[in-house]
Amino acid sequence: MSGSIHGYVKRNKYAIVTILSLTFLLIATYIEYVSHADQMSSLFLLSSKTWTSLFKELSFALLIALVISIGIEESSRKELNDAVSDHVKDIQRNVFNSTFGRNIPREILAEVEDLVLKADFVRSRHRAIYTLSIKNVRDWDACLPDRKVIVAEATTSYVVRNVSGVPKDFTVKIELEKPPFDDLKKYTSITSVKINDVELTNDEITDGDANAEDTDNFKKFEYTITSIRPGQEVEVVSKFKEIKMMSDVEIWRSLLPSDGMTLTLSLPKEATHWGAHALHREEARLRSSSLESRVHEWSVESGVLPHQGIVFWWRCNGDSPDCLAPSEVRALAVQTGGREIVPAEVG
C-alpha cells in the first residue's frame, strides 16, 4: 500500500505541489477577505495578518520551488540523455573495432562507423514513384523556345525510426537537379511534404527552401522534425517536379541506412528504351512490367547503405539514338547533352 502511494506521489509530484500552492493562496485570500485585523485578538499568533502572510509565503515558496525543480530536472535529464548517448556510441565503436579491427583497414572501419554505427535513424518502406510525361515548354510561356522536355513528377515515401536511445531531431532533406537551361530552372519545385499525414503549409515549405541554399544546378530543401523519441517512427511523404531531357537518366539514392528500396516508373507512350540498375552489390529486381500501362517496378530487397540507390534511364522518340547508352550508365559515366549526370538525393 505504502509503495503504491509513494509511486503515485512521485508520478504526480508537480501537480500536488501546484495544488498545495494554490490552496494556501486561496486560504490566505479568504482570511484577508472575511477578517479585519482590528476585529481579532492583538496576539501575534491569532492575528489574521499573521495567518494571511504565512499562507501567502507558503504559496509563493512552493511555486518558486516548483519552477526551480522543473528547470533542474529538465537540465539533468538532457545531460543524462547526452551522456547515455555518448556512452552507447563508445560501446558500439569499441565492440566493432575489437571484433573487426585486426583484419580490416582503419579507413574502411571509419567509413562504416560514420555511415552506420553513428546513425541516429534508420529507414524502412522506402519507395519512389516517378511519372514521366512529355511537354512543350512553349505551353508554359510563349516566349520560350519550341522544345520538348520530360516532366518528372515524383512521390517518395519512407518511415524513419530513432535508434539512438535518446530523443533526437531528424532533418528531411531533398536535393533535386535543375535542368541545364536557365529559362527552365524555376520549374523544378517541391510541391508538398507530409509528416505523419500532416501536410506542411506553403509557408513551411518556403522556410524549408530557405533553410538550404540553392545552387545554380540544384534545388535544396531541409525541414527539421524535433524531439523524436527513442524507438519512435515518423512517416515522411514528399512530392516534387523535375524537368528532364527526352533521353535522360535519374539516380535515386538514400542518405540513411535503409532496409530496401522500391522504384515505380510510369513512362510516356513515346518511350522506346528504358531500364534500371542498382548502385548496390545486388541487382535491382524487376518486380512487374506492363507494356500496356507502361508502368514498371524494380526493387532492392536487402540492406541499403547511405549513398547507394537505383539509377534508371529512358529514351523517347525524336531524340538522338546515341545520346544515352545503358552501358555508360552502368559505368556511372553517363552524359546527356554535354552535361554530367549527378544524383538526386532524398533524405
Query: In the predicted model, what is the mean pLDDT of residues 257-267?
Result: 96
User: Can you give the pLDDT at residue 13?
Assistant: 61
Greatest mean pLDDT among 62-66, 283-287, 334-338? 283-287
Q: Is 197 left (phi over 0), alpha (psi -120 to 50) or beta?
A: left
Q: Report the pLDDT value the prediction gives residue 35, as an integer from 0 to 100.
A: 57
In this predicted structure, what is the pLDDT of residue 113?
77
SS3 content of the chain, % helix, strand, coil (to 5): 35, 35, 30
Domain boundaries, the chain: 2-95, 121-346
Taking Cα atoms as reference points, which of 289, 262, 255, 276 lies closest to residue 329? 276
Is the confidence at residue 245, as pLDDT, over 80? Answer: yes
The whole-number pLDDT of residue 49 equals 58
How crowded is the C-beta side of 103, counted as CA atoms within 13 Å?
A: 3
- pLDDT (mean) for 211-215: 92
Q: Tell me the CA distances in angstroms from 231 to 119, 121, 159, 168, 303, one per residue in order.
A: 13, 9, 12, 11, 19
Give me the architecture of the 121-346 domain, per CATH.
Answer: Sandwich (2.60)
Confidence of residue 88 (pLDDT cuts 50, 70, 90): low
Q: How confident is the model at residue 343 (pLDDT cuts 50, 70, 90)?
A: very low
Region of poorest pLDDT, from 105-109, 221-225, 299-303: 105-109
* Model confidence at 285: pLDDT above 80: yes
- For position 312, what pLDDT does the model report? 96
Name beta bridge partners: 136.
Answer: 148
Q: What angle do CA 46, 48, 53 make, to 5 degrees?
A: 110
pLDDT at residue 48 greater than cutoff 70: no
Lookup: cell for 38: 482590528
**How far apart (Å, rounded) are the C-alpha atoms in residues 315 and 335?**
13
Over range 111-126, report the average pLDDT.
87
Work out the angle between the directed axes of helices 48-100 and 13-34 (0-180°, nearest 10). 170
Model pTM greater than 0.75? no
Contact 109, 101 (CB under 8 A): yes
Query: Measuring CA to CA, which residue among 173, 324, 321 is closest to residue 244?
Result: 324
